[in-house]
Structure 1
């Protein structure tokens, strides 16, 4: 009893580890990390600072956003305080009553910080202002104004670009949790269902797949994550999909397909990951968008098809029932593609006639002949 439970536990742990070992998660995120990156390559991230900022998580982006403004206000506050200190405008220097300072009403570091904030965000309360007595103050005012516009443009542009990235549009494209294998049009097919949750279309949509698995070359080299192209299509083709309702895309399992040698019994013994890509252009923004998902053997159901999802109401409208989006129905399916094609060949041979070289025709009274006719 103990050994049986131990075997079940080991099998469960192996299956659990196997499920986790996937390159692309169901929501399209890539499960990969880079190690031992050279320092020169790390500097390249700073050279492309715009993309680096866009790729940051929101918590880091907001930290940079707040730090950029607070840091610039405080830095220029120190500079304004230094100008007032060097020009002896502060109260501790006891300036005369008719004395004109570089900046009116700067009495310390706090008031210098407030003047810096007012200058950079162009509030202009009118209580503190620069006078014409100090060229250094005028230059610092111009410099902070220009730098403030640059900081505002960069940070606000980064926030806007982060919000409007087509990556967010991909969240409204969903794939079925499972893929199925069944007959379609007399052929054994690998089927996946995909839906657009918005009424706005993806223009010029194109769908394709990559099969990832570990292979060994004839030279003995082991290639991890070796990629094989998988062609998906719908009845109208795989280019410029009319994505107004959920589509069932399929890959024909023929002699050229990497799934040809798999069967219902051996499917779970194979180690592969099928990554499916959907590329298109967002109709509202004309930005390109890519949606990704993946399937491992445990998520492929052999001998099933998807339940109907589109119906027509009495009012003449088409209705999409998303409660059936991931539902499957068991159907009669050959347990391997090789068996299906052998069955077709056998039926084709029954409809053909063949010469039997061992057949001998004997007609009474007819002379014997060495030729055999049929």
Structure 2
């Protein structure tokens, strides 16, 4: 079954399935009507700037320079105006605060040259005006801090582990089949880069509506779903695509899942891979989610074609999302209607 067919099956019956987490791992929750949201964002300005979209970040970067150049250019122009430097008929012994600045454009160019350290030549500051010297010092200190902040935000956004997490691939479908005699939920995970991910751990969260014993309705109740690799709790070596298993035993929140009620259940399984990048030793997290329409009962993943070429293993990802019927015939049988079972018991009696 190809990925295109998988997406068609997911979108059947019209409508879009609501999710807590999208298939590409993004948070799919919108927050509205919070008083003081702007103030809260400004309190943590670093995170706000790092999380900005690139178009806003580039706008901030450009506007930071243009604003500071123009602002201090106006200050130098006002200083020149107060010192009577703009008067054409100046006394022969008059010393301007900033030499060769007679217009706002000249003051702007002096501010730009000072901040970008490409001066001084034609325009330069004199020793006769302490206020202009203090303004210049204040400009260099303030704009230096602003440049460090904006540049650091750029580097932080580029170096975020989130970008590394985008090269982790999850299977489009979650399968229910038997593995080593136990009924399991299976997902396939692959690392798409040559650099390794170490200390990999796959975990899950099951979101579903629930009602407590006191009658409280919880729209998104959470239960932990543990995944293992080949029934082994040790960290796997994610150098080739691997299949992770969750055993549907009595401890599982999906213990009562059957082929029949799978069609009417309302839940979302969020799967998260936590790993450490070998190149930087930073922790990255990648996630996806599965809704009931993306579960297949009685299917298993087709084995990937792994060959060799010039002494290297080669994995064919054309078969990454391909599935096949399980070899267990009991899983392939259609679930029997409870009404028919009762009628059979009644006829026996």
| TM-score, normalising length: structure 2 | 0.87
SS in 2 for 1:20: coil
Matches within 5 A, 1:131-210: 131-210=126-205
Question: Which residue of the partner structure matches residue 106 of structure 2?
Answer: 111
Mean alpha-carbon deviation: is it higher for 234-243 or for 24-33? 234-243
Deviations 1:86-112 (A, max 9, x none): 00111x342134432111110100110
User: Residue 201 of structure 1: CA displacement?
Assistant: 1.4
* Mapped contact 1:310–1:318 kept (Cα < 8 A): no
Give distance in 1, aligned partners of 2:57 and 2:93.
49
Q: 2:65 aligns with which of 58, 66, 69?
A: 69
- Compared CA separation, residues 27 and 238, structure 1 to 2 (3 A): farther
User: Residue 173 of structure 1: CA displacement?
Assistant: 0.5
Deviations 1:35-82 (A, max 9, x none): 22132x542321111011111111111111111111111100000001
Count of residue correspondences = 324
* Mapped contact 1:205–1:239 kept (Cα < 8 A): no
Give distance in 2, aligned partners of 1:158 and 1:285.
18
Give distance in 2, aligned partners of 1:316 and 1:181.
36
Give distance in 1, aligned partners of 2:327 and 2:198.
37
Q: Which has the higher contact order (CA 8 A, sep 6+)?
A: 2
Give distance in 2, aligned partners of 1:332 and 1:151.
64
SS in 1 for 2:69: helix
Structure 2, unpaired ranges of 5+ = 1-9, 336-349
Matches within 5 A, 1:54-133: 54-90=50-86, 92-133=87-128
* Mapped contact 2:209–2:217 kept (Cα < 8 A): yes
* Mapped contact 1:265–1:335 kept (Cα < 8 A): no
- Compared CA separation, residues 119 and 314, structure 1 to 2 (3 A): closer
1:51 counterpart = 2:47? yes
Give distance in 2, aligned partners of 1:162 and 1:238.
34
Deviations 1:201-252 (A, max 9, x none): 1222211000100011122111111011111010273443211111100111
Deviations 1:301-328 (A, max 9, x none): 1111111115243755322111111111
User: Residue 125 of structure 1: CA displacement?
Assistant: 4.8
* Mapped contact 2:227–2:244 kept (Cα < 8 A): yes
Give distance in 2, aligned partners of 1:315 and 1:49.
51
| TM-score, normalising length: structure 1 | 0.82
- Compared CA separation, residues 20 and 314, structure 1 to 2 (3 A): closer
Question: Which residue of the partner structure matches residue 9 of structure 1?
Answer: none
- Compared CA separation, residues 309 and 335, structure 1 to 2 (3 A): closer
Question: Which residue of the partner structure matches residue 211 of structure 1?
Answer: 206
Structure 1, unpaired ranges of 5+ = 1-11, 340-374
Deviations 1:184-212 (A, max 9, x none): 11111110000000111122221100010
- Compared CA separation, residues 236 and 245, structure 1 to 2 (3 A): farther
SS in 2 for 1:313: strand
- Compared CA separation, residues 14 and 244, structure 1 to 2 (3 A): closer
Matches within 5 A, 1:362-373: none
Give distance in 1, aligned partners of 2:327 and 2:235.
32
SS in 2 for 1:285: coil
Question: Which residue of the partner structure matches residue 36 of structure 1?
Answer: 33
* Mapped contact 2:231–2:245 kept (Cα < 8 A): no
